[in-house]
């Protein structure tokens, strides 16, 4: 099932040397997202705001812009925590993932004005995203 994630914010990892793809976004799956939002606010003092979209999705800011770390989201549980990795080409990395024994769970989808995303599972069943930003 494809999701409309057109307003999701990803960190721009294109600055600097990007020889190895980097994790740029996380999604924490929660049985009760409202409860999880309160938990992460209390424990880490993260800034969390509800996304203004058709699905229950909370955007998580984990620190000041320009400091180490990544931002992410909290969503209704569909699995565990999902990390999205920035790549030069979603198509190339989907092929590499399949070649290494992984599976494609959500095919390449455009995020208008942001880029492209696909979700794969590794050989151990872990879900991860492949994110390709729009060319500037």
pLDDT at 10 over 70: no
Name the average pLDDT for the chain: 85
Burial class (CB in 10 A: 0-12, 13-18, 19+), 70: middle
Q: Which domains does the chain have, with CATH numbers?
A: 22-133 (3.10.180.10)
Range with the poorest average pLDDT among 5-9, 54-58, 63-67, 71-75: 5-9
- β-sheet bridge partners, residue 129: 84, 119
- Are 48 and 63 within 8 A, CB to CB? no
Q: What's residue 116's pLDDT?
A: 96
Greater confidence (1 vs 49) lies with: 49
User: What gap in Å lies between CA 86 and CA 18, rounded to an integer?
Assistant: 9
Q: What's residue 44's pLDDT?
A: 87
Burial class (CB in 10 A: 0-12, 13-18, 19+), 74: buried
**pLDDT tens profile 71-130:** 999 998 777 789 999 999 999 999 999 999 999 999 999 988 889 999 999 987 888 999
């Amino acid at each position: 099932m494809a999701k409309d994630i057109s307003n999701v914010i990803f960190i721009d990892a294109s600055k600097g040397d990007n020889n190895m793809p980097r994790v740029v976004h996380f999604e924490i799956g929660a049985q009760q997202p409202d409860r999880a939002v309160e938990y992460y606010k209390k424990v880490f003092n993260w800034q969390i705001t509800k996304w203004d979209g058709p699905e229950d999705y909370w955007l998580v800011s984990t620190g000041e812009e320009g400091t180490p770390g990544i931002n992410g989201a909290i969503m209704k549980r569909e699995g565990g925590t999902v990390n999205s990795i920035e790549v030069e080409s979603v198509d190339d990395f989907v092929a590499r993932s399949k070649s290494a024994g992984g599976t494609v769970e959500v095919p390449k989808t455009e995020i208008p004005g942001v880029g492209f995303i696909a979700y794969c599972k590794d050989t151990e069943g872990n879900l991860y995203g492949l994110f390709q930003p729009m060319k500037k």
